[in-house]
Chains A and B, each alone.
Chain A
């Protein structure tokens, strides 16, 4: 089976930087997804990491360490609209079907 672990909730201040960690245990690991989900809405794709290292995309960056089974999502210059749930998900077994964690609810306050 697969196990995805991420914090349940985090809070941060507008304009700050926040790092959301995710650890995973899975056999046949392919890659690691991050999705953003606002309350009552569908998840939207943020990133997919296959190789070790940091990938930057605007204010969001995602890091992967395959040997440690660890990833993080880094959000810079936080805005109020970044308040959402951030879902970590691992793909394995030769497919891109993600197994999702429970999500981290990020609350950004003024």
Chain B
């Protein structure tokens, strides 16, 4: 079956611009997670959705970052006024539910802010 998909695979934007990154989880998975990974580092947790609501957004670095999941399936991570330090691979993962420990990761979106 289809895995987690993310679009775009690559995004280059100028400092100060707004970007949206999309995640399509595995069908039927109610839990969805966003991470970002810088070169040579492990993934860093950003936000977790259970259904439509953000159950834990403690990893969002500041108020320029926002994520939504309006229908409990597709999620969009939104970054305002991008900075060069936002350059990273943004990973999305899903799992069947909050009681499931195994997460299935998507291929990521490589964001480059110039």
Residues of A near any B CB (own CB < 8 A): 4, 31, 33, 41-45, 48, 87, 89, 91, 95-103
Name 14 extra pairs, CB < 8 A, besides A44-B105, A45-B103, A96-B95.
Answer: A33-B101, A42-B105, A42-B107, A43-B43, A48-B102, A87-B43, A95-B56, A95-B98, A96-B99, A96-B101, A97-B48, A97-B56, A102-B42, A103-B41
Separation in Å of the A53 CB from the closest CB of chain B? 17
By beta carbon, the residue of chain A nearest B44 is A100
**Chain A hits for B108, CB < 8 A:** 42
A96 to B95 alpha-carbon distance, docked (Å): 10
A89 to B91 alpha-carbon distance, docked (Å): 16
Separation in Å of the B69 CB from the closest CB of chain A? 16
Interface assignment of B106: CB less than 8 Å from any CB of chain A: yes
- List, sorted by A's number, 11 A–B pairs whose CB atoms are closer than 8 Å: A33-B101, A42-B4, A42-B105, A43-B43, A43-B91, A87-B42, A95-B56, A95-B98, A98-B45, A99-B45, A101-B42
By beta carbon, the residue of chain B nearest A42 is B105
Interface residues on B, range: 20 to 34
Decide: A41 and B45 in contact? CB cutoff 8 A.
no
Chain A residues touching B, majority SS? strand
Count contacts between A and B, CB distance < 8 Å. Answer: 50
Contact residues, B25-49 vs A (CB, 8 A):
33, 40-45, 48
Decide: B40 and A96 in contact? CB cutoff 8 A.
no
Contact A43/B105 with A100-B43, A103-B42 known, Cβ cut-off 8 Å: yes
Interface assignment of B100: CB less than 8 Å from any CB of chain A: yes
Contact A91/B101 with A97-B45, A101-B42 known, Cβ cut-off 8 Å: yes
**Chain A hits for B45, CB < 8 A:** 97-99
By beta carbon, the residue of chain A nearest B102 is A45
**Chain A hits for B40, CB < 8 A:** 102-103
Separation in Å of the A2 CB from the closest CB of chain B? 11
What per-residue 1/0 map shows which CB atoms of B73-110 lie under 8 Å from chain A? Answer: 00000000000000000010001001111111111100
